[in-house]
Amino acid sequence: MSIEAREARQPWILLSPALTAVTLLLFVPLMFIVVYSFWLRSAVGADTMGFHLDNWQRALTDPFYRYILLNTLKIAAITTVLCAILGYPAAYFIARSRGNKLLLLVLLMLPFWISYIIRTMSWINILGTSGALNSALMSLGITSEPIRMLYNENTVILGLVHFLLPFMVLNVFVSLDGIDTNLEDAANSLGATKWQAFTQVTLPLSLPGLAAGGLLCFVLAAGTYITPLILGGPRDAMFANLVFEAIITQLNWPMGSALSLLLLFVLGLLVLVYNRYLGMSQLTKGLG
């Protein structure tokens, strides 16, 4: 074999293990559950193969499923907006600070390394009936009995914001850090106030980072089922909880397949719209 041919084959040899892994462990399984979603669950033994539209019909028309889907999107949207409101100024502070930027960033990213379940359950210590907040309120004499603050939709959102904020900060920081500060100075010297320079120069230039952070927050929030189980009440199920219920509790795998594909489809649509306007490169910038 010629050297050129060997050189051309080399990258494929290096890539083949990873490509085989994603093909066999992701793409083929995804295609498999598309098929599975048309099967029917049977009470005993194996599920009935075939082409039945029952699961899809139920997934798309059942008012309960629709309500949960819309509510999940609402929770994800509120979480994303809150992450942006909390995260943008913090990222701006880090990017424009004259101190040790890297240290400030690492400090804010530290909780990202701390176990998700620990961070989620830590709110029980703060908001629970014998938590920090209630103890403080009671010892100050503001209330005589502990207030029930936990296990509702608001605490689910709180937990999600706490979990996802680092993703937002990192993405906004990456795009803010890439903006030449001379641009702001130029705007100032041309007579713009600081606020004008920010809203007309810096903010528009940092929008790709904000959008990337927002997409990550939204998709991750909309796909979670652990946070509602820990911080939500019995009626605060999100869409992924329905999937978990169908697969693990009810063992209705065909229905679970249809529901997970529906979730994938809704979130995938969002990613496609994002990709159409902003491209994928911004997302990987923040992750790398």
Partner 1 sequence: MGWQLIRLYAILVYGFMFLPVAVVVLLSFNDSQFGAFPMTGFSLRWFEALWNNDAIMRAFRTSIVLGLMTAVISTTLGVLASLALVRYRVPGRNLITTMLIAPILVPEVVLAVALLLFLNFLGIGKSFTLLLFGHVIFTLPFVILVVQARLVGIRRDVEEAALSLGASPRQTFFSITLPLLMPAVAAGALFAFTISFDDITGTLFWKPGGVETVPTQIFAMLRHSISPEINALGTVMIVLTVGLPLLGAALARRMAMKRGG
Q: Which of residues 102-131 bind partner 1 (CB under 8 A)?
A: 107-108, 110-111, 113-119, 121-126, 128, 130-131
Do the beta carbons of residue 98 and residue 173 sit within 8 Å?
A: no
Q: Does 267 bind partner 1 (CB under 8 A)?
A: yes
Q: Are 263 and 65 in contact (CB under 8 A)?
A: no
Residues 43, 208: Cα–Cα separation, whole Å: 50
Burial class from Cβ neighbours inside 10 Å (0-12, 13-18, 19+) for residue 77 reads middle
Q: Directed axis angle between helix 54-61 and helix 63-96, to 10°?
A: 60
Q: CB of 205: closest distance to partner 1 in angstroms? A: 18
Instruction: Give the range of 50-58, 86-94, 183-191, 202-210 binding partner 1 by CB under 8 A.
Output: 86-94
DSSP code string of 74-97: HHHHHHHHHHHHHHHHHHHHHHH-
Smallest separation, CB 219 to partner 1 (Å)? 7
Q: Does 57 bind partner 1 (CB under 8 A)?
A: no
Q: Which is nearer to partner 1, 153 or 258 (CB)?
A: 258
Examine residue 202 and tell whether it contacts partner 1 (CB under 8 A): no
Interaction residues for partner 1, span 210-249 (CB under 8 A): 219, 222-226, 229-230, 240, 243-244, 247-248
Considering only residues 15-44, where is the footprint of partner 1 by CB under 8 A? 15, 17-19, 21-22, 25-30, 32-33, 36
Rounded to a whole number of angstroms, the CA Rg of the chain reads: 24
